[in-house]
Amino acid sequence: MIELIHDYWLYFLVGQYPNGPLGGLTLTILLSSAALVLAMPLGLLLGVARVSPWRAVRWPTAVLVQIVRAVPLLLVVFWAYFFLPAVTGVKTGQATTMLMTLVLFDAVYLAEIVAAGIRSLPKGQLEGARSLGLSYGQALRLVILPQALRHVLPSLVSQLVATIKATSLGYIIGLSEVSFIATQVNTLVFTRAVEVYIVLALTYFMLCFGLSRLAFLLERRMNRRPVSAFATKVTP
Amino acid sequence: MTFFDASLLRSGEYHDWLVQGFTTSLQLLAASFVIALPLGVAIALMRTSHGRALRGLGATLVEGIRNVPLLAHLLFWYFAFPELLPEPVKLALYDSNPEFICAVIALSLYAGVHMAEDIRSGIRAVPGAQMEAARSLGLGRLASLRLVLLPQAIRIAVPPLLSQTVNLWKDTSVATVIGAAEMMYQAARVETATFRSVEAFTFATLAYLTVSLAISLAAQLYARRFPVRT
């Protein structure tokens, strides 16, 4: 296994770069972080729409969320892979296709996280903000969202873990992320499949386990320090 | 060439491929579920037991499996695992249906540890006094588990377990990477043979949607019929 890592570590980390497209573990990490960051604004918007007081906004969002969550991500990848070029007329690369799919996918999951964060706040927060004369938008932006987002920070880290795992599906459309590279190394060395795939599994494990520990620590810290809404100090 | 040619889906060879894929997906779901659920219960009991070694083993299994994507599991079980088997077993595996069997192993382990976590939160949600009361009534440890703790824990865990089953259903699609002839594989095959991607993927989308929504509906009905007692 040591020999294998010694021979192929660079290929495993960056793929054919700089003689070809960037790939390997670097692509996996870049793609998942970019997807989460790009999905954030969309997720916030959908999350707010999900708990909107207006039915005309709430219901379509609910339908979108339910549909995206009910079909496999792989199917969305396929739809995007065959449709984006047909609709836009431009041949989209594997990385772009995967990024767009992940953004949609993450936005929907983030919407649920954000909505859960908003719902977990006491009702009085919104009512209080409104009665102080803030508009609905202002109340959301200044009072509700800052608290809700703090609540859901650990879930955001878990979502990053889910996204990292989801990038592996790019393998199927030939995206040269880390699973794809591992399979190529496997064909190069031929008889050492066990070692190759254990290295791959360990790589994912270290990345995802590290991040999920971070989520756990964040959760513990937040539980210990209650959200300011409940911790109003009564000054004598 | 029409945009959507429904006759392709109604009859003929491609219809048969798609229906066969749907059936295989359902078989994958059933086979993996039947293994994953008891596995989940076993791991959850390990994680909540008093033995330190058992708890450690349970945690290792859960973290080790959960933090690796399903795709990497499938690649391992299909390409690497058979190499570790003794020759006769390996040949027997290749003679049967290796894609299906390896997919079931990977899927049931992956779903099993996720279910274990749901069952564990169910167990932890049952007040500790329940167990003490059962023990003080003279029930043995196992009897108290079986008769008092688990029935309550499972009732709390059913809705998350059903949503885990939806995940398992969606995850069966990933088995296409090792060439298991399930829904996704057959849809892609029809697409390659006919270039009718819209029809093939519409069929697949409707198939996945129907089953997912049916399971979610069951979860909602269950939660309404059997609300968690507090």
Please, which residues bridge with residue A22 across strands? Answer: A15
| Cβ–Cβ below 8 Å for A204 and B68 | yes
Q: Is the pLDDT of residue B154 over 80?
A: yes
* Distance, CA of A169 to CA of B170 (rounded, Å): 13
CATH code for the structural domain at A1-223:
1.10.3720.10
Residues 6+ apart with CB under 8 A from B165: B29, B33, B111, B215
> B162 near B218, Cβ under 8 Å?
yes
Provide the strand spans (E) within A20-71: none
B83 vs chain A: nearest CA distance in angstroms? 7
Q: Is the pLDDT of residue B66 over 90?
A: yes
Nearest residue of A to residue B178, measured between CA atoms: A172
| Cβ–Cβ below 8 Å for B83 and A194 | yes
The amino acid at A171: Y
Nearest residue of A to residue B176, measured between CA atoms: A172
| Cβ–Cβ below 8 Å for B76 and A82 | no
* Per-residue tokens: B11: 């009859």
* Distance, CA of A191 to CA of A105 (rounded, Å): 37
The radius of gyration of chain A from alpha carbons, rounded to an integer in Å, stands at 22
DSSP-derived letter for residue A92 is: -
Residues 6+ apart with CB under 8 A from B90: B82, B83
| Cβ–Cβ below 8 Å for B84 and A204 | no
The helix-helix angle for A193-224 and B52-66 (nearest 10°) equals: 110
> A114 near A152, Cβ under 8 Å?
yes
The CA-CA-CA angle for residues A189, A191, A195, to 5°, reads 80
Instruction: Tell the burial category of B67 from Cβ atoms under 10 Å away from its Cβ (0-12, 13-18, 19+).
Output: buried
Whether B166 and chain A come into contact, CB under 8 Å, resolves to yes
What is the ipTM, given to two decimal places? 0.89
Give the Cβ contact number of residue A138 at 10 Å: 14
Does the domain at B10-225 match CATH 1.10.3720.10? Answer given as: yes
Pick the residue of B18, B61, B71 with the most A CBs within 10 A to test the interface with A by mutation.
Answer: B71
Residues of B whose CB is below 8 A from A169: 71, 174
Domain boundaries of chain A, sorted by first residue: 1-223
Domain boundaries of chain B, sorted by first residue: 10-225
Instruction: Tell the burial category of B71 from Cβ atoms under 10 Å away from its Cβ (0-12, 13-18, 19+).
Output: buried
| Cβ–Cβ below 8 Å for A193 and B170 | no
- What integer pLDDT is reported at residue B230 of this predicted model? 63
* Per-residue tokens: B26: 């359902």
Phi, psi of A22 (to 5 degrees): -65, 140
Q: How far is CA B188 from the centre of its chain?
A: 23
Q: How far is CA B191 from the centre of its chain?
A: 27
Euclidean distance between the first and the last CA atom of chain B, given in angstroms as a whole number: 61
- What integer pLDDT is reported at residue A229 of this predicted model? 44
pLDDT tens digits, A147-185: 999 888 999 999 999 999 999 999 999 999 999 999 999
* Per-residue tokens: B175: 């088995």
pLDDT tens digits, A207-226: 999 999 999 998 888 876 55
pLDDT tens digits, A65-86: 999 999 999 999 998 888 778 7
Pick the residue of B28, B66, B74, B75 with the most A CBs within 10 A to test the interface with A by mutation.
Answer: B75
Confidence of residue A88 (pLDDT cuts 50, 70, 90): confident
